[in-house]
Structure 1
Amino acid sequence: MRSHPKALQGTACSWPFNALKREIPATMAGVLLMGHGGPEMLQYQTDIKVPQPREHEVLVRVFAAGVNNTDINTRIGWYSKNDSSDDASWGGTSLPFPLVQGADVCGEVVAVGCKVDVNRLGQRVLIEPCITEVNGETMQPPWYFGSECNGGFAEYTVVAAKHAHRVESSFSDAELATFPCSYSTAENMLTRANVRHGEKVLITGASGGVGSGAIQLAKARGAQVIAVTSPAKQAQLLQLGADQVLNRHSDLVAALGENSVDVVIDLVAGKGWPQLLQVLRPHGRYAVSGAIGGPMVSLDVRTLYLKDLSFFGCTVLAPGVFANLITLIEQGKVKPLLASTFTLKDIHQAQQVFQQKEYIGKMVLQINSPS
């Protein structure tokens, strides 16, 4: 399996490195993305070479990995802005095929590189999906786990030790795998928009992984939450903590009034986007990290400057965001929303169910069981 050219830099430590007292196999099962296209481009294989950690890396035995919009967007080349797909990664470059996707990973450190503390062995970890370091080398721009480098849709994966965060929790592996991508994205948006106690926050796409995480995280900050979703999911979002839930087809200005919201957390964009700016108060803040309703919107620039609005595009996690999320998980201030689990072999079915959007929370692939 081909690696990204940059990923080949660094010195390999002598195998089996510093490892737990169990045999680490030479090959593993996993799903390879062979190129851009439909689900047929995802191939389940059982003879993939187990990656070897270099000096500053850890080898993680993957217990569970969540399914995300970014997996599908990456597969179909949605991030590309031209017809050649040579800019279809998060970083705007071509992807290294074949590629192991999977950004949401819960697992156990089973081997460490020769410059990593051996006390990391045996730790249960969540992998930070925004990769700012690869084997001691700073990435600029950062990579995304399962995009510019191999991710977690396999029995083993490697990552820089700094991005494998120890987690102490009674949640199951599948439950923990619902957190990394969605909840860190939500926490990053709230952090960038500086959401404060008592502020009124409007969240679009609120029943998805990021949106449902944003509801909990905004409430943990003491904010008032208005969630936008489909009618069938309104009761569940109220139970999750939303103060008010609106139908996604509602006229937001009629329902809320102009200048009524402090912060918009947007995951949808699409044709209704101008209303989001209308309901923002002067000096309001708008944060976006998705465009499931369509990436092209109509902006009246006068609304932007006359209301002194601030816009935040949110992809790269701000420093400390993921560590803060781990603390919130360990303190029980957020809860996992596990919609369903599948085996790694059933990734096609998992993505099909995922795209139907008839659930709240996350789909997770169960890969290994703790031993």
Structure 2
Amino acid sequence: MPDTQPPSQTMFAIVTTGNGGYDKLEPRQVPIPAPEPGEVLIRVLAAGVNNTEINTRLGWYSATVTGGTDTTADSQETKAEQKSDGGWNAATPFPLIQGTDCCGRVAAVGTDTDAGLIGQRVIVRACMRPNGFDSMECVWMASDFDGAFAQYVKVPAQEVFAVDCDWSDAELATIPCAYGTAETMMERTGVTAHDRVLITGASGGVGSAALQLAKRRGAHVTAIVGASKVDQVRALGANAVIERGNDPVHTLGENAADVVIDNVAGPGFAQMLKLLRRGGRYASSGAIAGPIVELDMRDMYLKDITLFGSTAWDEAVFPNLVSYIEAGEIRPLVAKILPLSEIATAQKEFLQKTHFGNFVLIPPQIDR
């Protein structure tokens, strides 16, 4: 069994100090957290980059923000403004170590915790349901408590999942947030082999995950992406592709989809309901083009459309993902790997949306 015990009492971490620009991402030496009863300490091997870390730093979840992530990033870089409602659950508890996606190895356990976990390579279920899965209340690693942009992170033991596969650490780190979110939308909308599914932003982390997961269920998938990524989403299994900027209603016709998975929103939202057939299902877990949309209520109620919001992950989601990985039914999409110290560079490139898949950060190696 490899020696994973902490070599010292401090660790390297990127600490987000408040709402604002990249200057809020501070490299620091901080104490290594000690696992309490029922918790495990994980040595972080790789941590993925997601919209949610950027949005939390920007305070994008505040009701005062009406623009997309890119325009909000531009304004916050020059004018930092603390937001009392900028996090998922009201104010973000700054200073905070972000990092929602974690692949790591269990280094230590608290009392009343299975010591057999030590040494196992795991991924972390970042969305945690403290009141059980009958309640939609949730807390998130890296939004409500310290996350994986560090050499170590501690989490409840029931939130770690060992995965038996030959994937690299970086590949496993692409899974939790994007695929957990996408699989939840698959579950809630009940995607089956009989469905025609439309996915916006299909080249991003959640979009590309949703494409794979919908195809795994046998659905017919139409993907909306930029012109430079058409070949890549076709290779990933899309049955049809619409270039971003083209009118999807004109291309497909009204009532062409059973399910829409839409993390783009913004000005294109109204078209999504036109595309849905009667009894269709719409799901969203984001709004990168802007959170304020135009909704014609007649499209919703006259067509008996069901709208699904998706933040809290359902109970079956993470066990499902582990089984898909181990069965070789999905594959990781690593766009770029960078050292954790280059987080600002990673986030800047991430916001350019020229990549396909996920960015991954690697913390400094542990001295032995």
Q: TM-score when scaled to structure 1?
A: 0.91
Letter in 1 for 2:164: E
Letter in 2 for 1:55: P
Task: Give the secondary structure class of the aligned counterpart of 1:263.
Answer: strand
Deviation at 1:369, TM superposition (A): 5.2
What does the per-residue CA deviation read over 1:68-115, in whole Å, with 9 as the maximum and x for residues that have no partner? 100110001001114861122212x21111100000000001101111
Q: Which residue of 1 aligns with 2:308?
A: 312
Q: Does 1:40 align with 2:23?
A: yes
Supply the distance in 2 between the matched residues of 1:368 and 1:62 (Cα, whole angstroms). Answer: 9
Task: Give the secondary structure class of the aligned counterpart of 1:232.
Answer: helix
Q: Which residue of 2 aligns with 1:90?
A: 88
Q: Does 1:26 align with 2:18?
A: no
The partner residue of 1:61 within 21, 40, 43 is: 43
Contact 2:43 2:107 in 1 (8 A): yes
Q: Does 1:177 align with 2:173?
A: yes
The partner residue of 1:292 within 288, 292, 308 is: 288
Q: Does 1:347 align with 2:343?
A: yes
Supply the distance in 2 between the matched residues of 1:42 and 1:343 (Cα, whole angstroms). Answer: 14
Deviation at 1:141, TM superposition (A): 2.5
Contact 2:106 2:118 in 1 (8 A): yes
Task: Give the secondary structure class of the aligned counterpart of 1:272.
Answer: helix
Q: Does 1:365 align with 2:330?
A: no
Deviation at 1:139, TM superposition (A): 9.1
Bigger shift: residues 76-85 or 255-264: 76-85
Deviation at 1:57, TM superposition (A): 0.5
Q: Which residue of 2 aligns with 1:8?
A: none
Task: Give the secondary structure class of the aligned counterpart of 2:266.
Answer: coil
Q: Which residue of 2 aligns with 1:75?
A: 57
Task: Give the secondary structure class of the aligned counterpart of 2:330.
Answer: coil
Letter in 1 for 2:50: N
Supply the distance in 2 between the matched residues of 1:174 and 1:99 (Cα, whole angstroms). Answer: 23
Supply the distance in 1 between the matched residues of 2:39 and 2:31 (Cα, whole angstroms). Answer: 17
Q: Does 1:189 align with 2:172?
A: no
1:263-342 correspondence to structure 2 within 5 Å: 263-342=259-338
Bigger shift: residues 235-244 or 75-84: 75-84
Letter in 2 for 1:35: G
Deviation at 1:140, TM superposition (A): 6.9
Q: Which residue of 2 aligns with 1:52?
A: 34
1:138-153 correspondence to structure 2 within 5 Å: 141-153=137-149
Task: Give the secondary structure class of the aligned counterpart of 2:103.
Answer: strand
1:78-227 correspondence to structure 2 within 5 Å: 78-82=60-64, 85-91=83-89, 93-133=90-130, 141-227=137-223
Contact 2:41 2:107 in 1 (8 A): yes
Q: Which residue of 2 aligns with 1:246?
A: 242
Which runs of 5 or more residues in structure 2 are unaligned? 65-80
User: Closer, same or farther in 2 for the Cα pair 1:73/1:221, shift >3 Å?
Assistant: same
Deviation at 1:198, TM superposition (A): 2.5
Task: Give the secondary structure class of the aligned counterpart of 1:233.
Answer: helix
Supply the distance in 2 between the matched residues of 1:160 and 1:282 (Cα, whole angstroms). Answer: 43
Supply the distance in 1 between the matched residues of 2:235 and 2:183 (Cα, whole angstroms). Answer: 20
Contact 1:64 1:368 in 2 (8 A): no
Contact 1:133 1:160 in 2 (8 A): no
Deviation at 1:257, TM superposition (A): 0.8
Count of matched residue pairs: 349
User: Closer, same or farther in 2 for the Cα pair 1:315/1:21, shift >3 Å?
Assistant: closer
Deviation at 1:25, TM superposition (A): 2.0
Which runs of 5 or more residues in structure 1 are unaligned? 1-18
CA RMSD of aligned residues (A): 1.9
Deviation at 1:133, TM superposition (A): 3.4
Q: TM-score when scaled to structure 2?
A: 0.91
Deviation at 1:116, TM superposition (A): 0.8
User: Closer, same or farther in 2 for the Cα pair 1:159/1:237, shift >3 Å?
Assistant: same
Contact 1:62 1:368 in 2 (8 A): no
Supply the distance in 2 between the matched residues of 1:347 and 1:139 (Cα, whole angstroms). Answer: 34
Supply the distance in 2 between the matched residues of 1:231 and 1:21 (Cα, whole angstroms). Answer: 45
